[in-house]
Amino acid sequence: MKISEKYYSWLNHPEMPDYLKNELKLMSKEDIENAFFKDVEFGTAGMRGLLGAGTNRLNIFTVRRATIGFANYLSTICKNAKKRGVAIAHDNRYMSREFTMDIANTLNKMGFDAYVFNSLRPTPQLSYAVRELNCIGGIVITASHNPKEYNGYKVYDEDGCQLIPEKIDGLLEQINKLPDFLNLKTPVCKKNGITHEIPLSFDDKYIEAVKSIQINNELRKDDFKVVFSPQHGTGSMLGMRLLNELGYAVYPVSSQLDPLPGFDNTKSPNPEDPAAYEQALIIAEDVEADLIVVTDPDADRVGVGYRNRFGKYDLFTGNDSGALLLDYLLSERQKRGLLRKNSTLYTTIVTSKLGVDVAKSYGINVKLFLTGFKFIGHEYSLDEVSGDAHFEFGYEESYGCLIKPFVRDKDALQALVMYLEMANYYKKKDMTLDQAYDVLCSKHGYYSDITKSITFEGAKGALEMEEMLSKIRATPPKKIADQKVIAIEDYLTRIRQSIKGDEKIKLPQSDVIKFYLENENTVTIRPSGTEPKCKFYYGVKSLVSKEKAVKTANEYHLSMLSIIDK
């Protein structure tokens, strides 16, 4: 069906809500193309897109079709799926509650029980609820850190882990069997399912589980000042409760506590963006806070700011904060004799090699995965059964980490506990976090792991990004800046090319290209699975200084831009 035909079928559909019909009427030719040139897709973190009318948008029709497909998929993998039911959570975004209740109603009509929180909750709490309630799956309505115009749809398996590609393939097979969005009718089961409200006692159980991860819980906390912002998201209620119950001197960014769907009082809800910290920094400077912690809207990631040795405030990258936390955890566990022969770090191919070096210095194993915490959660679920590996820590460069796997996704509440404990521990030793990080780098080298992005909006942008990646694959660079490329890993073909010959890559297929340089630095390219961007990851190590590593990483990016423009 042509784009124009799709557009008019939506515009003239008798069940089209007025708010979507009005939006359709106001669309320009370019708007129509972008809204209908494809169906909204499942990426690295589920289905995510702009809210609005169209097949490439998040709306009641695209969400309902995904739900029917998910229910059919669950029925194929478990005879008792309907009775075990599906847990559902949502964030603060526009349409999140409406989508949640429509999902529950759709599942009920199909005979599934549904378990729904009474209001917004953190994504990791959904993972926890799936496991505690013995559900066959879970759904979270969230677009994480994306701007207010977006929403998303994440799906979870019975282990509380986001679906890995092979399971997504099974889900897509079911979705593709369905009629188009507008002609689809919800199948009605003879016996309807029931929607259960998840009791408030689940908050208590989850909070207690989170608090149990403390190592040095005897440290005095009321003399440690922390500024906290949930960025209007799901971390507000439980995050504040957790920090207060732990006993820290908490200074919330009060203007960012309310779950406003428009993110009214923040320039960015993304902890990776320095603009997300502007109000928190004002409060921190006023009260001379020791630490700033910022959770993203669905509370699965944490950004960290700290007061340095000069009394000024700096921000950590996810690579730096994760590596420092890893070192703290392993050091403290080693002191207590808790590390095992099969102790393992779970991380990704675009996360800084500093973490790998730290792990190996403690004699623990490392497992590397493609981007997306679902791979970490799934692998540990297998390892838990086999006993092949003991989970010590899991993290990725985009500010997500997991300390204890009673959740099978990244967990900002757990991260809050341990980042505060770590900073408090070093404070009691008269060390700031920059000093602790310098000690770490003196052992392992100075790393700069910079991520740059190029945005490709709409149908035209998607084609341009595809052409760019095809060009890089067809004529890969022989040098990046002044460094010779000695190996190339293409995860789309799953082949590693080097002077040793071609080797098969054991990880799943993915649209990722990684270049290894003669000085052991790396450049990795991958399209974002959550935004219309292509990401460039520069992994650089210097034995001289952090500044030298940063300078080199930026030189690599300028070189890549030049290569792309040729």
Domain ranges of the chain: 3-199, 206-444, 446-565
How large is the average pLDDT for residues 12-30?
97
Query: Mind spelling out the 3-state secondary structure of 119-158?
Result: CCCCHHHHHHHHHHCCCCEEEEECCCCCCCCEEEEEEECC
Band of residue 45 on the pLDDT scale cut at 50, 70, 90: low
Q: CA-CA distances (angstroms) from residue 324 to 35, 260, 327, 522?
A: 43, 33, 5, 21
Which is it for the CA torsion 437, 396, 237, 129, positive or negative?
negative
22/35 Cα distance (integer angstroms): 14
pLDDT of residue 28: 97
What letter represents residue 323's amino acid?
A
At residue 72, the 3 state secondary structure works out as helix
220, exposed or middle or buried, with CB in 10 Å at 0-12, 13-18, 19+? exposed
How large is the average pLDDT for residues 368-391?
95
pLDDT of residue 98: 98
| Fold match between domain 3-199 and domain 206-444 | yes
Q: Is 144 a catalytic residue?
A: yes
Q: Which of 9, 75, 127, 144 is catalytic?
A: 144
19/10 Cα distance (integer angstroms): 12
156/159 Cα distance (integer angstroms): 8
Q: CA-CA distances (angstroms) from residue 188 to 67, 113, 159, 387?
A: 14, 13, 27, 43
What letter represents residue 101's amino acid?
M
- Helix, strand, coil % in the chain, rounded to nearest 5: 40, 20, 35
Q: List strands edge to edge, sheet with 390-396.
A: 365-369, 343-348, 390-396, 400-402
How large is the average pLDDT for residues 416-426?
98
pLDDT of residue 431: 98
> Does the 3-199 domain belong in CATH 3.40.120.10?
yes
Count CB atoms within 10 A of the CB of residue 318.
Answer: 24
How large is the average pLDDT for residues 9-29?
97
Domain 206-444: assigned CATH number: 3.40.120.10
How large is the average pLDDT for residues 286-290?
98
Tens digits of residue pLDDT in 80-124 = 999 999 999 999 999 999 999 999 999 999 999 999 999 999 999
User: Measuring CA to CA, which residue among 425, 427, 396, 399 is closest to residue 412?
Assistant: 399
Q: What angle do CA 391, 396, 402 make, to 5 degrees?
A: 40
User: Measuring CA to CA, which residue among 88, 172, 177, 70 is closest to residue 138?
Assistant: 88
297/236 Cα distance (integer angstroms): 9
For residues 94 and 144, is the Cβ–Cβ distance under 8 A?
no
pLDDT of residue 444: 96
CA max distance for the chain: 70
Q: Is the pLDDT of residue 565 over 90?
A: no
At residue 90, the 3 state secondary structure works out as strand
What is the average pLDDT value for the chain, to the nearest integer?
Answer: 96
- Token digits of residue 263: 């993110």
Q: Is the pLDDT of residue 1 over 90?
A: no
261/199 Cα distance (integer angstroms): 24
pLDDT of residue 306: 98
pLDDT of residue 519: 93
Q: Is the pLDDT of residue 532 over 90?
A: no
For residues 412 and 124, is the Cβ–Cβ distance under 8 A?
yes
Q: Is the pLDDT of residue 171 over 70?
A: yes
pLDDT of residue 191: 95
How large is the average pLDDT for residues 393-409?
97
pLDDT of residue 462: 87
> Does the 446-565 domain belong in CATH 3.30.310.50?
yes
User: Measuring CA to CA, which residue among 313, 323, 242 is closest to residue 280?
Assistant: 313
- Token digits of residue 309: 């040795």
Band of residue 44 on the pLDDT scale cut at 50, 70, 90: low
CA atoms within 13 A on the CB side of 350: 28
pLDDT of residue 528: 85
Tens digits of residue pLDDT in 443-474 = 999 999 999 999 998 888 889 999 999 999 99
Band of residue 314 on the pLDDT scale cut at 50, 70, 90: very high
Task: State the helix-helix crossing angle for 412-428 and 235-246, rounded to 10 degrees.
Answer: 30
Q: What is the Cα 131 distance to its own chain's centre?
A: 20
Q: Is the pLDDT of residue 41 over 90?
A: no
pTM above 0.85, yes or no: yes
pLDDT of residue 464: 92
411/394 Cα distance (integer angstroms): 10
- Token digits of residue 454: 């190029």
Q: Is the pLDDT of residue 50 over 90?
A: yes
pLDDT of residue 46: 83
Tens digits of residue pLDDT in 199-244 = 999 999 999 999 999 999 999 999 999 999 999 999 999 999 999 9
Q: Is the pLDDT of residue 43 over 80?
A: no
User: Measuring CA to CA, which residue among 139, 127, 72 is closest to residue 102?
Assistant: 139
For residues 316 and 441, is the Cβ–Cβ distance under 8 A?
no
